[in-house]
Amino acid sequence: MDHRYVPELEGTLRSHMIKVPEIINQATGISIFGKLIKSLAFSTDVAIIKNINANAIIAVYPFTPQPAITHAIMTVADVPVFCGVGGGITGGRRTLNIAQDAEFQGAMGVVVNAPTPNETIEGLKRVIDIPVVVTVVSEHTDIRARLEAGTDIFNVSGGPNTASIVKQIRSEFPYVPIIATGGITSDSITLTIEAGANAITYTPPAQAQLLRGIMEKYRSQWDD
C-alpha cells in the first residue's frame, strides 16, 4: 500500500463542488496559527465560498468594506477568511475600526490595498493581533518600508507581471511570506510558485458561468 495515498470522500449533493487546481499543492504554504494555507479562493460569493475546497478565502471587493458583509462571509465560511479592510478609498481610523471588527468576528487576517500608507499599517499592528496582508501591484513598491511598518504577508497581484514581482521580492527577502495570484493555467501557477510564492490565490468561475453548464446539461436531456 502506498502510504502517501489520501482517501477521498464525497457526498452525492456536493460532488460538483469547485476544486482549486491540484498544482497549487506544490506551493510550500504559509502556516498561520497552526493552519497550513496553500490555496485561497478570491471570492465574496457566499454560495461559492461554501462550495469550494480552497484552504482559505480572501474576501476583497471594490466597495468600502462593511462589517455586515464580513459577518455574512464569516457565517458561511468553514475555512479561514482574510478580510479586505480598505486602505485605498477607505483609510485612516475607519480602516482600523473595520480591521478590529473583522478580528472580533474571527478573521484569520486582514488585507489592505496597494495605496495604503505605511502609517495605517503601523496603526493596524497596534490594534489587532492577526496578520496584516499588504497588496503589491508594482515592482516599484518599497518592500523594505512595508516590512518596517509591520507587514506580515505580501499579496502580490501584478497581472502578467506577478511572477516577476514575486521573484524580485523573494531575491531580496528570502523568508517573507508571499501570497500571489496564479492566473488560470497550470503553467502560470507553476511559474508563480517557482518564482517564490508560498500560497496561490485562485479566482473561481462566476455563478453565471457555472449555471450555464448545468442548464445546458438539463436542456440536452430534453433534446434527447
As averages over each run of 10 residues, the pLDDT of the chain (224 residues) reads 73 76 96 97 94 96 92 95 88 90 96 95 96 97 97 96 96 97 91 97 82 72 66
d(CA 84, CA 113): 8
pLDDT confidence of residue 142: 97
CA distance 157 to 181: 6
Instruction: Identify the pLDDT of residue 42.
Output: 95
Name the residue with cell 489587532.
128
Q: Which pLDDT value is given to residue 44?
A: 94
**Cell output for 1:** 500500500
| Cβ–Cβ < 8 Å for 59, 85 | no
**Please, what's the b/e burial string for 168-199 (b: 16 or more CB within 10 A of its CB; e: otherwise)?**
bbbeeeeebbbbbbbbeeeebbbbbbebbbbb
What pLDDT score was predicted for residue 46?
A: 94
Nearest C-alpha neighbor of 201 from the set 33, 60, 50: 60
Query: 121: which residues sit within 8 A by CB, 6+ positions away?
Result: 112, 132, 134, 146, 149, 150, 151
Specify the pLDDT at position 13: 65
Cell representation of residue 181: 495570484
| E runs forming strands in 14-88 | 30-32, 35-37, 39-42, 56-59, 81-84
pLDDT at position 223 is 65
DSSP state string for 77-136: -SS-EEEE--SSSS-HHHHHHHHHHHHHTT-SEEEE-TT--HHHHHHHHHH--SPEEEEE
Closest CA relative to residue 104, chosen from 69, 74, 78: 74
> How would you classify the pairing of strands 35-37 and 30-32?
antiparallel
What is the residue extent of each domain of the chain? 22-223
Strand 39-42 and strand 56-59: the pairing is parallel
CATH number attached to the domain at 22-223? 3.20.20.60
Angle between helices 186-195 and 162-172 (to 10 degrees): 20
